[in-house]
Amino acid sequence: MDADSDVALDILITNVVCVFRTRCHLNLRKIALEGANVIYKRDVGKVLMKLRKPRITATIWSSGKIICTGATSEEEAKFGARRLARSLQKLGFQVTFSKAIRAADTQGFIFVIFTDFKVVNVLAVCNMPFEIRLPEFTKNNRPHASYEPELHPAVCYRIKSLRATLQIFSTGSITVTGPNVKAVATAVEQVYPFVFESRKEIL
């Protein structure tokens, strides 16, 4: 049962969630009126803006905090976030500056503050070439794995050190969520030997 290296599994990242801040108050009404690709949810006080190029959806609050979801890689997330800030800038939001405190720029060059960019969550999917016996797996991995067939068909395996959660289905497909792409990859590597133990042999 050597199940260590040479695992050429394809880990497909399906979603990357990131947050960033523009350090200025945003007028949601104005964005809603003038943006072509926005949905204004007044009851909860936020605006959804969807971009086509990196296909992302951003939730914008009036405090200037923005959450950006739907990207398929970290770079794409950052790129999309920047485009978003640029479009906000074009809508006419002048912002004061964050770390370098400058007055309103004389050159007419407007800086949009793009601070605290952080990738918050990464969701990836991975497929094992074998099926997995879930009750056996749960028994062998007691504290980390929890399996409630009445509630959810998959085993929920949590790795505290990486802050990652894996959902392991009996078909062999695994859904991983973690704080960044590296953690996700590490999590899959960590769990692979255990999953390999409880696999179902193809007759």
Partner 1 sequence: MTGRVCRGCGGTDIELDAARGDAVCTGCGSVLEDNIIVSEVQFVENSGGGSSAVGQFVSLDGAGKTPTLGGGFHVNLGKESRAQTLQNGRRQIHHLGNQLQLNQHCLDTAFNFFKMAVSKHLTRGRKMAHVIAACLYLVCRTEGTPHMLLDLSDLLQVNVYVLGKTFLLLARELCINAPAIDPCLYIPRFAHLLEFGDKNHEVSMTALRLLQRMKRDWMHTGRRPSGLCGAALLVAARMHDFRRTVKEVISVVKVCESTLRKRLTEFEDTPTSQLTVDEFMKVDLEEECDPPSYTAGQRKLRMKQLEQVLSKQLEEVEGEISSYQDAIEIELENSRPKAKGALASLTKDGSVEDTTSSLFGEEDAEDEELEAAASHLNKDFYQELLGGGIPGSSEAAGGPEGGGRPPALESLLGPLPTAASLGISDSIRECISLQSRDPNASGDGELDLSGIDDLEIDRYILNEAEARVKAELWMRENAEYLREQREKEARIAKERELGIYKEHKPKKSCKRREPIQASTAGEAIEKMLEQKKISSKINYSVLRDLDSKGGGGPHKEDARPQERAGARKLSRRKTPASRSGADPVASVGKRLRPMVSTQPANKKVAVGEALLPSPPSLGAEPVRPTAVVVESGPVSYHPEEDADEEEPDEEDGEPCVSALQMMGGDDYGCDGDDDDGY
Query: Please, which residue, 65 or 82, has the CB nearer to partner 1?
Result: 82
125, 123, 118: which is closest to 178 by C-alpha? Answer: 123
Sign of the C-alpha dihedral computed for residues 20, 92, 58 and 16 taken in this order? negative
* Cα–Cα distance, 102 to 16 (Å, whole number): 33
Residues 25-64 close enough to bind partner 1 by CB under 8 A: 32-37, 40, 42-43, 53
Report the residue from 15, 24, 67, 111 that binds partner 1 according to the rule CB under 8 A.
111
Query: Please, which residue, 74 or 189, has the CB nearer to partner 1?
Result: 74
Report the residue from 1, 8, 103, 151 that binds partner 1 according to the rule CB under 8 A.
151
Sign of the C-alpha dihedral computed for residues 174, 177, 181 and 187 taken in this order? negative
* Cα–Cα distance, 64 to 79 (Å, whole number): 18
Report the residue from 79, 125, 165, 181 that binds partner 1 according to the rule CB under 8 A.
79
Q: How far is the CB of 4 from partner 1 (least distance, A)?
A: 26
Q: Which one of the spans 59-67, 107-115, 177-185, 188-196 is the region binding partner 1 (CB under 8 A)?
A: 107-115
Query: Please, which residue, 10 or 43, has the CB nearer to partner 1?
Result: 43
C-alpha count within 13 angstroms, C-beta hemisphere, residue 165: 8
